[in-house]
Amino acid sequence: MNRSRHLLAAVVISSLSVLIAAAQSNEVKKETQEIPASRMMTPEEEEKSGLTERFRREEEERKKEVARHLPSFAKLQPMFASIKDDQEPAVFEGLPHQVFYPEQHASELKTKETVTRNGFPFYKVPIKLAAEDVRKLNALVKHPDSFSPYLAVNGPGGFQPDFSLVWESNGKPIEVQVCFGNGGEIRAYHDNVVVYCQMDEIKSALKTMLKKYHKNLPQPKNEK
């Protein structure tokens, strides 16, 4: 009798195990089918998908902003004409990119002396250029073919100036904020005029000249 009971119990347990396993298998299949398509992507694809929507919204806003300033491009060369060939600008170094290096950006704002110029933070103490570079820089900036109206508007992360170049003209600043991302973009400010431009042939020369003057910018943590 006891042996029969044991055999019956074993059969029941075995049957239950099969039923439970089948139920679990069906549940897994059901859950897999219910997973949204976005969750089936690789982590890299998920990240790209999320960033794409964010950057799309940023681009729409930036396009509207650029369109508002496009007519002012004709005022760029008259603005630069007052810069003397050997006139030394004050050069301010930009902080780490606030989108790509948010932790370093926040840390630098908290621990370093900074100054805000036309909405963007820079290290407070200006950098002094060598006399030869002053002349080269001014020649690049004043050349009529150096800039064109900024129309591309296609860089992730938005405008974040790497440097600000500031000359004085009749007691008022001429400021050129330089961003080497986004294909090479500048924003020029003088006497309530704002001009958005893209750098053409001068991007490489300007970047080569200015990068050697970096003295405050920390090395990104994800780079050696």
Section 19-29 average pLDDT: 45
- Is the confidence at residue 42, as pLDDT, over 50? yes
Report the range of poorest mean pLDDT among 35-39, 123-127, 174-178: 35-39
The per-residue pLDDT for 54 is 76
Mean per-residue pLDDT for 146-162? 78
Long-range contacts of 188-192 (CB under 8 A, 24+ apart): 188/76, 188/79, 188/80, 189/118, 190/79
> How high is the mean pLDDT of the chain?
79
**pLDDT over threshold 80, residue 139:** yes
pLDDT at 145 over 80: yes
pLDDT band at 47 (very low <50, low <70, confident <90, very high): low
Q: What is the mean pLDDT of residues 77-84?
A: 94
Question: When comparing pLDDT for 26 and 201, which is higher?
Answer: 201
Q: In the predicted model, what is the mean pLDDT of residues 173-185?
A: 90
As a whole number, mean pLDDT of residues 170-196 equals 91
Say whether pLDDT at 16 is over 80: no
In the three-class reduction of DSSP (H, G, I as helix; E, B as strand; rest coil), residue 26 is classed as: helix
pLDDT of 41 = 54
CB 139 within 8 A of CB 85: yes
The sign one gets for the Cα dihedral 210, 211, 216, 220 is positive
Q: Rounded to whole angstroms, how far apart are CA atoms 96 and 219?
A: 9
- pTM, whole model, 2 decimals? 0.69
* pLDDT tier for residue 175 given thresholds of 50, 70 and 90: very high
pLDDT of residue 78: 93
CATH 3.30.190 fits 72-211, yes or no: no
Confidence at residue 224, expressed as pLDDT on a 0 to 100 scale: 42
Number of neighbours of residue 158 by Cβ within 10 angstroms: 17
Q: Is the pLDDT of residue 7 over 60?
A: no
**Section 173-179 average pLDDT:** 96
Residue 40 dihedral angles phi and psi, to the nearest 5°? -85, -5
